[in-house]
Structure 1
């Protein structure tokens, strides 16, 4: 009897240890931070297939520099081409996370909204709701609740949310007046009323910079370094960064610049991820989401410069994520149909929350979060 009691007692201890160990592992796998990155109007065609040879050869689009484009981005093999263009996306993100949207193998991601341009797309990404009332880039403050605003209301995250966007309209898209977190967009000054020395330098360069997009949008380099400084100094739990040059150069018909802008965004994401993985607060506790607001034309090659409901394939987009609780499945190759309105709840679930608001919210993407 004594022996049986000792065996029973030992089994109870072992079971308790296993339960505690399991709880520690679960906590370690939970994402405590999330970095959400978008690059405006970047096509799935380049994301999954790399440089488009037809566009690179076209004198209307190659900026009289096809030799540069070929030297930097061309390879006979499609997988090599896409990795030349988006090295981090394919060498790290694809191996450690999940990437959706390669339509050549039937894996489809689309806008749910019917407009296929920026404000409706960003609203859909951030609110999980394809609101048909948001039908203009000049729409005023967003009446819908974003997942960023929702997360900022959570006790463990409140005051630790920040957003940086090259496009000035993000003040309205994210409803900065109501949301309760800083939205630094276009030519807003970095650091608020008390910028540090790095932020002062960024602000001075921003004010004196070349402004190809006038006052509506700054160059991505300023958005990037402003966001990176925020990451280093204020250590947000939730950080959103929106780059814009992929869309601007595409509208201009500058294919070389469009590719360069995408390539630079990929390099900047690597820089952010390298910092994250070498910082105790973020290392192995941070998720990364990468996507776009809309697609562009491709069926008619000359329509690659455009998007909107008149361009029949401009709703075709993509989505990528990696981090704690996100299984490393790589490029998703099964036939499937996902929609942009699923992104918001997916991001909330990655952080361990269920996104709720006074408007419809689509369910998360199945299988992203373990």
Structure 2
């Protein structure tokens, strides 16, 4: 009898030991949003109907040389090399509807502020029905994390569009948010002073409420190196502005440029002990765009068919490297907030309903 019990315990012990150890959660998160970028460009590259049309791409010869290739796989690689060489190989990509991977907004409006609220709060709030700069009434995942041990005052937001300050409710949450033409207060280094000079002297192409994306990027990178936040939200805007202006080739150039910035940021964090091997990138968009007729690419919103269609990618600590996804359940924008928290080993709770984490993300 004793020998049977001992054998049973030995078998149980061997089974337990054979189970893979649970992956450690990420220690840091970088959330990145690219405003108004379609899944079509992300997964199939340049659209020939727009790239070859001088109305949308005036220098069609240059546009073809830069972004055209015979196959979708080649085109998307030329457009987004970091996305396909790093995120696709080390993480997961969602939203290629040609492979039946679908990601939708849950909000009914299909434009920016409702989308950013949904990403950040995990709640499709129908009260947020405009792009007016009004403080978000919902507790976002960033605000929730800022109240948790180890995260207080270690969360930062850098955005090109000033409405993002309202989306994260900087006033209530106390999170540091720098947007549009906001300068660095009390500059301490030569880099701070240089960035402030650039902010003051460079023209603002899209008005006072939007700064150029490269300035947003270098402001964020400068802050990251000096202050080492555990959560960084980096929000780009020019892709949407250029699309509304009907400048398709310029839209692709900006998308390619941002991809290069993200590669630079990824390489930077690999050199920093606090971040290397401990950080996860989540990259997504606030909404999609139209596609038929082709002029509808300029637009989005409820009057533009299918502009609720979106995408996201995730790579880094705690993420299973399963690459481009096929099939699976329809996912929604409101699931990203809880996914961010879960990657950090935290359960996000709020006064409003919150979408479930995307379970397939985790190791």
TM-score class normalised by the smaller sequence: over 0.9
In structure 2, distance between residues paired with 1:104 and 1:238: 33
Task: Work out whether residues 106 and 336 of structure 1, in 8 Å CA contact, stay in contact via their aligned partners in 2.
Answer: no
In structure 2, distance between residues paired with 1:140 and 1:231: 27
Equivalent residue, structure 2, for 1:58: 53
In structure 2, distance between residues paired with 1:357 and 1:346: 14
Task: Work out whether residues 105 and 335 of structure 1, in 8 Å CA contact, stay in contact via their aligned partners in 2.
Answer: no
Provide structure 2 residue ranges, at least 5 long, that are not aligned to the other structure. Answer: none
State the SS of the aligned residue for 1:263.
Answer: helix
Q: TM-score, normalised by structure 1?
A: 0.92
Task: Work out whether residues 93 and 325 of structure 2, in 8 Å CA contact, stay in contact via their aligned partners in 1.
Answer: yes
Q: How does 1:221-236 map to 2 (within 5 A)?
A: 221-236=214-229
Equivalent residue, structure 2, for 1:357: 350
Which residue of the other structure, out of 68, 93, 97, is the alignment partner of 1:99?
Answer: 93
Which residue of the other structure, out of 167, 171, 175, is the alignment partner of 2:165?
Answer: 171
Which residue of the other structure, out of 38, 41, 45, is the alignment partner of 2:40?
Answer: 45
Task: Work out whether residues 52 and 64 of structure 2, in 8 Å CA contact, stay in contact via their aligned partners in 1.
Answer: no
In structure 2, distance between residues paired with 1:267 and 1:250: 20
In structure 1, distance between residues paired with 2:85 and 2:197: 36
Provide structure 1 residue ranges, at least 5 long, that are not aligned to the other structure. Answer: none
Measured on the aligned residues, the alpha-carbon RMSD in Å equals 1.9
Q: How does 1:155-234 map to 2 (within 5 A)?
A: 155-190=149-184, 192-234=185-227
- 2:284 paired with 1:291: yes
Task: Work out whether residues 37 and 290 of structure 1, in 8 Å CA contact, stay in contact via their aligned partners in 2.
Answer: yes
In structure 2, distance between residues paired with 1:93 and 1:264: 16
Alpha-carbon offset, residue 335 of structure 1: 4.5
- 2:325 paired with 1:325: no
Give the paired residue count: 353
Alpha-carbon offset, residue 26 of structure 1: 4.8
In structure 2, distance between residues paired with 1:134 and 1:220: 25
Alpha-carbon offset, residue 167 of structure 1: 0.2
In structure 1, distance between residues paired with 2:265 and 2:145: 21
In structure 2, distance between residues paired with 1:238 and 1:164: 11
In structure 2, distance between residues paired with 1:161 and 1:78: 38
Task: Work out whether residues 299 and 313 of structure 1, in 8 Å CA contact, stay in contact via their aligned partners in 2.
Answer: no
Equivalent residue, structure 2, for 1:238: 231
Which residue of the other structure, out of 325, 328, 331, is the alignment partner of 1:338?
Answer: 331
In structure 2, distance between residues paired with 1:333 and 1:95: 15
In structure 1, distance between residues paired with 2:176 and 2:150: 17
Q: TM-score, normalised by structure 2?
A: 0.93
Equivalent residue, structure 2, for 1:130: 124
State the SS of the aligned residue for 1:212.
Answer: coil
Alpha-carbon offset, residue 139 of structure 1: 4.7
State the SS of the aligned residue for 2:107.
Answer: coil
- 2:74 paired with 1:77: no
